[in-house]
Every structure is written in structure tokens, then in C-alpha cells.
Amino acid sequence: QSFDLLITKGYGSTIVATKFDVIASESFKIEEYNKAIENWTNATKIIPNEDSYYLNIALTYCYMKEFQKAVKVLKEIESLNIKSNDGFFEFIGGFAFYELGQKDLGCKYIRASNNLGYKAAGAFLKRISCKT
């Protein structure tokens, strides 16, 4: 995917997107969530097929307890057809749906995340009550 980015967007664009990503990550660490979202959004405008920017935005919305916004971002990832299979998408979806009171759907997503090998999913499954 890195070569694809260089070919389609050029080296300069990739550097700019990476700078936005770094600023966003630093902002997230110091709980400046709106600034983090703004910078990851800027990165998506440069490289719209990079799911990690969208996933970080969705995760940040979860930290802000804005779970409906997190779900909206996940739907955007699906509509762009850029979801990777590392389980992070499913983890965020599971967490958001669970917190929105959609426990069965949340559990379904968390189990899927766990099955894809996302480590935090197993720990989360132990903390919540999911029917078998």
C-alpha cells in the first residue's frame, strides 16, 4: 500500500498526511481530542483510502463518549471499502454499539475482533457480559 500511495499521491502528499497524523497522535495523547480529529480529518483529505486515520477518528469519538459519531465514521470506512482485517474496526464498532445499549450487536463485533486476533478484544470480552 505504501508504493500505491507514492504512485497515486506523490511523496510530498504522503509527507504532509504523515505530519497531520503525528500532530493528531500527539493531540490525542494529551486529550486534545477535537484537535486530533481535525488533524486526522485533514490527513483523510490527502489520503482518503487510509483506514487508520478514520479508525483513529472513530476511537477518539469513543473517548469523547460520542459513540453515534464513532459509528458514523465506521460506516464511512465501509462505504469507502477500505476496512482492513486486523480486528480494530470490529473492536471500535463493538465498543461503540455496546455503549449505545446495543449489547448483542456490540458483543457480535467484539467477538469478530477477537477472532481476527485483536488483543484488546479478549480483555474487553472478559469485562462485559455477552450471551454465548
**In this model, does residue 76 exceed pLDDT 90?**
yes
Higher-pLDDT residue of 32, 8: 32
DSSP state of 35: H
Distances (CA, A) of 116 to 26, 61, 71, 120: 28, 23, 20, 11
Dump pLDDT digits (tens) for 81-116.
Answer: 999 999 999 999 999 999 999 999 999 999 999 999
Per-residue pLDDT, 14:
83
Q: At what angle do helices 88-99 and 51-63 cross, to 10 degrees?
A: 30
pTM: 0.88
Question: Given the C-alpha cell 500500500, which residue does it identify?
Answer: 1
Residue 124 pLDDT level (bands cut at 50, 70, 90): very high
Per-residue pLDDT, 1:
45
Picking from 61, 53, 112, 21, the residue whose alpha carbon sits closest to that of residue 125 is 112
